[in-house]
C-alpha cells in the first residue's frame, strides 16, 4: 500500500498481521445444498467447516482447533492427534470465507467442527465477542451453539460469562463405565461431576442444555440405557439430541436411523424430551474431521 508512508507500513508490519484462509476443497451436496469446506491455513494446516441450509436460514459449523486432544473413540478429528488451537481470527474467517464463497448469508453458528471449544477457551470467547459485536458480524449469540465433551471447570467459567448461547454437551452414555470406554475425558470428569456442572449452568444462565447422544449399536442403545439416561436427567429441563453414529473408517462403530428412532421412543415412553438429528449432506459423507485426515495423508 504505497499510499501509506514507509514508516507507517513498517510499523503496521511489525505490529499486525493479516491472517488468511483459503478453500482447498469444496464438496456440495446435490440433495440438500450442504457445503463442506476444507480450508488451508497460513502454516499449512487444514480445518473444516460445514454450511447447512435450514428453513430458518444458513448455519455454519466451525472448527476451533487443528485436531483434538480429547481422544473420543468414535471421532475422526482426534485420530491424528492435536496440532494447535485456532486464533479468534481463524475461527471468524471460516464464516467470512463461507459467506463469500457460497454467496449465502450465515445466520447461525455451531461450534461443533474439529476441536474442543472449551480446550481453547480464551480464543473461543474472543471469537464469540467479535461475532456478536455490532462492528463485527453482529450475530446474536442466541443463534450460536457450543458443543463440549465435558471439561467441567470450563463449563463453570462459561456459565459465569452468561453469553446467552446454547450449550450442547456430548454425553453419549448414561453410566461411567460405558462413557469412559468411548470418551477418555470421563476419567477426569465423571458423569456425576458433569451433570452437577450442567445443572449449575442452567441455574446460573437459565439456558436449557442440549445433550448429544451418538448412538452406537450394542453399546449405548438398549432400553436399559434409555432408562439410566432418564434417571440421570430426571427433573432437568433439557433436551436430548440423538445422532446415529457417523461411521469412520478407523473404527467399527455403527448405527442407523431405525435404531435412533427406536431409542427416541424409549426415551419418550420415559417422559424425556428427545429428537433424532436430521442428516444433512449424506452424499458428501465424511464425518467431522475425515476430510482433513484424507487430505493430509
Is 233 among the residues that bind ligand SAH (CB under 6 A)?
no
C-alpha span between 4 and 6 (Å, rounded): 6
* DSSP sequence for 60-103: EE---EEE-SS--TT-GGGTT-EEEEPPHHHHHHHHHHHHHHH-
- Please list, in sequence order, all residues whose beta carbon lies within 8 angstroms of the beta carbon of residue 239, skipping any fewer than 6 positions away: 208, 209, 210, 211, 273, 274, 275
In angstroms, give the least distance from the CB of 97 to ligand SAH.
20
Q: CB of residue 135 vs ligand SAH: minimum separation in angstroms?
A: 28
Set 48, 90, 97, 212: catalytic member:
48
Under 8 Å between Cβ of 83 and 131? no
Q: Residue 134: count other Cβ atoms within 10 Å of its Cβ.
A: 6
Q: Which three cell numbers stand for residue 262?
A: 427406536
Residue 218's nearest CA partner among 182, 186, 184 is 182
Task: Using the rule CB under 6 A, give the single segment among 188-196, 221-229, 240-248, 256-264 that binds ligand SAH.
Answer: 240-248
Rounded Cα–Cα distance for residues 12 and 54 (Å): 41
Instruction: Tell me, yes or no, if 116 is annotated catalytic.
Output: no
Q: What values do phi and psi take at 211, rounded to 5?
A: -100, 125
Binding segment for ligand SAH among 21-29, 125-133, 153-161, 244-252 (CB under 6 A)? 244-252
The catalytic position among 61, 149, 238, 288 is 288
112 φ, ψ (degrees, to nearest 5): -135, 15
Task: For ligand SAH, give the closer residue by CB, 204 or 243.
Answer: 243
Report if residue 181 touches ligand SAH, rule: CB under 6 A: no
- Check if 198 is active-site: no
The residue from 149, 242, 259, 267 that contacts ligand SAH (CB under 6 A) is 149
Q: Which of 47, 91, 144, 245 binds ligand SAH (CB under 6 A)?
A: 245
Q: Kindly state whether residue 246 participates in binding ligand SAH, applying the rule CB under 6 A.
A: yes
For ligand SAH, the binding residues in 7-66 under the rule CB under 6 A are: none
Least distance between ligand SAH and beta carbon 50 (Å): 11
Give the single-character DSSP code of 259.
H
- Which is nearer to ligand SAH, 10 or 283 (by Cβ)? 283
Across 171-266, the runs of DSSP E, i.e. the strands, are: 209-215, 238-244
Of residues 59 through 118, those in contact with ligand SAH by CB under 6 A are 70, 72, 74-75, 112, 116
- Please compute Rg for the chain using Cα positions: 20
- State which of residues 212, 238, 264, 284 lies at the interface with ligand SAH (CB under 6 A): 212
Per-residue x/- mask for ligand SAH, residues 274 to 293, rule CB under 6 A? -------------xx-----
Q: Which of 76, 96, 85, 97 is nearest to 125 (CA)?
A: 85
248 binds ligand SAH (CB under 6 A): yes
Catalytic residues: 48, 288
- Site residues, ligand SAH (CB under 6 A): 70, 72, 74-75, 112, 116, 147-149, 170, 212, 214, 243, 245-246, 248, 287-288
Amino acid at each position: 500500500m504505497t499510499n501509506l508512508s514507509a514508516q507507517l507500513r513498517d510499523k503496521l508490519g511489525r505490529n499486525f498481521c493479516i491472517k488468511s484462509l483459503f478453500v482447498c476443497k469444496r464438496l456440495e451436496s446435490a440433495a440438500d445444498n450442504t457445503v463442506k469446506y476444507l480450508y488451508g491455513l497460513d502454516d499449512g494446516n487444514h480445518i473444516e467447516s460445514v454450511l447447512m441450509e435450514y428453513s430458518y436460514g444458513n448455519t455454519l459449523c466451525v472448527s476451533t482447533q487443528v485436531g483434538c486432544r480429547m481422544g473420543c473413540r468414535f471421532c475422526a478429528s482426534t485420530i491424528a492427534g492435536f496440532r494447535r488451537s485456532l486464533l479468534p481470527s481463524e475461527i471468524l474467517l471460516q464464516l467470512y470465507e463461507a459467506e463469500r464463497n457460497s454467496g449465502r448469508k450465515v445466520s447461525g453458528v455451531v461450534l461443533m467442527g474439529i476441536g474442543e471449544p472449551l480446550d481453547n477457551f480464551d480464543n473461543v470467547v474472543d471469537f464469540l465477542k467479535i461475532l456478536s459485536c455490532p462492528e463485527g458480524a453482529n450475530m446474536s449469540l442466541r443463534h450460536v451453539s457450543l458443543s463440549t465433551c465435558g471439561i467441567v471447570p470450563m463449563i463453570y467459567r462459561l456459565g459465569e460469562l452468561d453469553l446467552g448461547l446454547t450449550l450442547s454437551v456430548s454425553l453419549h452414555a448414561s453410566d461411567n463405565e460405558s462413557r469412559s470406554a468411548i470418551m477418555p475425558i470421563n476419567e477426569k470428569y465423571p458423569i456425576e461431576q458433569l451433570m452437577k456442572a450442567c445443572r449449575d449452568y442452567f441455574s446460573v444462565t437459565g439456558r436449557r442444555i442440549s445433550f448429544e447422544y451418538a448412538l452406537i449399536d450394542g453399546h449405548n442403545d438398549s432400553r436399559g440405557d434409555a432408562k439410566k439416561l432418564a434417571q440421570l436427567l430426571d427433573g432437568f429441563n433439557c433436551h436430548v439430541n440423538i445422532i446415529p453414529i457417523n461411521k469412520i473408517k478407523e473404527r467399527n462403530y455403527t448405527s442407523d436411523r431405525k435404531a435412533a428412532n427406536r431409542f427416541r421412543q424409549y426415551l419418550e415412553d420415559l417422559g424425556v424430551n428427545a429428537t433424532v438429528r436430521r442428516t444433512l449432506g449424506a452424499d458428501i459423507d465424511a464425518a467431522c474431521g475425515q476430510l482433513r485426515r484424507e487430505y493430509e495423508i
